[in-house]
Amino acid sequence: MLNGKTILITGGTGSFGKKFLEMILDNYTPHRIIIYSRDEFKQSMMKANYEKKYDMSRVRFFIGDVRDRDRLYRAFDHVDYVIHAAAMKQVPVCEYNPFEAIKTNIHGAQNIIDAAIDRGVKKVVALSTDKAVNPINLYGGTKLVSDKLFISANAYSKISGTKFSVVRYGNVAGSRGSVIPIFKNLIKRGDRELPITDSRMTRFWITLEQGVELVFKALEESSGGETYISKIPSFKITDLANAMLPEAKFKEIGIREGEKLHEIMITKDDSRLTYEYEKHYIIYPHFEWWKFDEAKVGNGVKVQEGFEYNSNTNNEWLRINDLKNILSLNCV
């Protein structure tokens, strides 16, 4: 699928971009991989670290911002696939800098779409978040608009043939936005009390590897307009804390601004357009121009109307021992 292809990833120096690069180089022989990001220091560090393990002759580092339309047009020249991972994603930062979040997450998405169509990119997969579902903060609101832009872009790309799809998941275990590094640092310095925003809080558990695999799935089979969601287990924040520090004491500090008690990936309203597959769900678009019979993937089964994919009502759970085993294997 990706052999001999040129792939560009925006925000490529982040947690996802690094894992994506590893899995591409481990499993495929692409023509070229372009890491597109703003931070020259992160790019130089990433290059130095990966040169120790990989032949980096096929990897290019491209300084650029998704806000810069002209730079994207230059970067997308002769690119086959684009993975859009760049975003302003820290909820408090977005709340305090709303216009900057709009410039990156919404205007940046539009720039990606225009450049991809005009440069003849074959497929674009945009990374989304649970926070785009029933958003209660500015970050989620901007990502909801971004998702809508990418899905609707398929109506404008018939001539060029560019296909746009979305991959949605929550906080990735061990990534920069995860609570795991916070707990690790507190435990390392000897703290016996861990801060918990709310003892009722639940989250989905997805690893970077699972996130990359879902992007591969979308690249392989999407017809344009789909939103992919992994079938993954849930866990309680208190169980995670106990797995990392047995018999830990908790200090409830209250839910932070823009934070949800539980993650939702699929709403009840989405259920009318959602199909279940072995390892994931797909939400199909609802447009007059979208031909479901021609574009539906595989043998998915339509979910029951009113179904909601919620971390609090999930059928699969990680308990304390499960989390201990995962953490002991250095999976995060």
> Is 328 within a domain?
no
The catalytic residue among 131, 217, 236, 260 is 131
pLDDT band for position 288 (cuts 50, 70, 90): confident
> Is 75 within a domain?
yes
Residue-wise pLDDT tens digits, 179-189: 888 888 888 88
Q: Residue 307: pLDDT above 70? A: yes
The more confidently predicted of residues 291 and 300 is 300
For 14, the domain range is 6-170+206-231+267-306
> Is 255 within a domain?
no
> Is 21 within a domain?
yes
Work out the number of other CB atoms within 10 angstroms of the CB of residue 32. 16
Per-residue model confidence (pLDDT) at position 192: 86
Per-residue model confidence (pLDDT) at position 19: 95
The three-state secondary structure class of 284 is coil
Q: Does this model's pTM top 0.75?
A: yes
Task: Identify whether 143 is a catalytic site residue.
Answer: no
pLDDT band for position 175 (cuts 50, 70, 90): low
> Is 177 within a domain?
no
Q: Residue 332: pLDDT above 70? A: no
200: its two tokens: 């009722």
The total of structural domains in the chain comes to 1
Looking at this protein, which amino acid is placed at residue 257? E
Integer-rounded Cα Rg, in Å, for the chain is 20
> Is 190 within a domain?
no
> Is 186 within a domain?
no
> Is 257 within a domain?
no
Regarding beta strands 249-252 and 193-196, do their DSSP bridges make them parallel or antiparallel, or are they unpaired? parallel
Whole-angstrom Cα distance, residue 167 to residue 217?
Answer: 10
Residue-wise pLDDT tens digits, 101-138: 999 999 999 999 999 999 999 999 999 999 999 999 99
Instruction: Specify the CATH number for the domain of residue 33.
Output: 3.40.50.720
